[in-house]
Amino acid sequence: MSLFDRRKLLLSLAALTVAPACGFQPVYAPGGAGSELYGKVAVSAPDSVESYLLVQNLEQSLGRSVSSAKDYSLNVQVSTVTRGAAITTSNETNRYSIDGRASYTLKSNETGQILVSGTVADFVGYSAAGSTVSTLADERDAKERLMVILSDQIVTRLYSAPGLAS
């Protein structure tokens, strides 16, 4: 037989009253930044494999814009640098690091005003200790992971930007 627990009830009621007081607003709530941007952002065309992967992830998160609902334009520029991270005494590289940087600008198509802009950066690593085929597969996977990380950072910054929620 379950008993009524007043502590759980009081804690849940306190959480419901405190959350609105701290300025918390769900991203996907009506009027939130997620619902304001979803399906309304035209992302710039990719010009490299890395930018293709970044645009693909951005469109998955922001929704692919339909031709009649392009309220915003998101211009992204991505660059990567691959560096040796672990070099043996015989001068062989066993591990690589890929540093990635993506600059973004969100512009309103209606007013032409830049709403949000910035740069995100991160890095990933991969092993080069296996065969040539496995090293190339690891490098490709690392670039895909890096573009997921950078796109997540961009989307988070877009959603948290002041002035996008109506």
> What pLDDT is recorded for position 105?
96
Give the number of domains in the chain. Answer: 1
- Residue 88 has which token pair? 């043996």
**In a domain? residue 6:** no
> What CATH number did the domain enclosing 75 receive?
3.30.160.150
**In a domain? residue 136:** yes
Nearest to 151 by CA among 13, 32, 41: 41
**In a domain? residue 13:** no
**In a domain? residue 31:** no
Continuous segment of H or E residues that includes residue 158: helix 132-159
**111 phi, psi to nearest 5 deg:** -105, -20
CA pair distance 140, 138, nearest whole angstrom: 5
CA pair distance 160, 152, nearest whole angstrom: 12
Range of the domain at 117: 40-159
pLDDT band per the 50, 70, 90 thresholds, residue 37: confident
Continuous segment of H or E residues that includes residue 120: strand 114-127
Segment among 19-23, 104-108, 112-116, 136-140 with least mean pLDDT: 19-23
CA pair distance 74, 99, nearest whole angstrom: 22
Q: Which pLDDT tens digit goes with each residue over 80-112?
A: 999 998 888 888 889 999 999 999 999 998 899
**In a domain? residue 44:** yes
Look at residue 134 and give its three-state secondary structure. Answer: helix
**In a domain? residue 51:** yes
CA pair distance 55, 66, nearest whole angstrom: 15
**In a domain? residue 23:** no
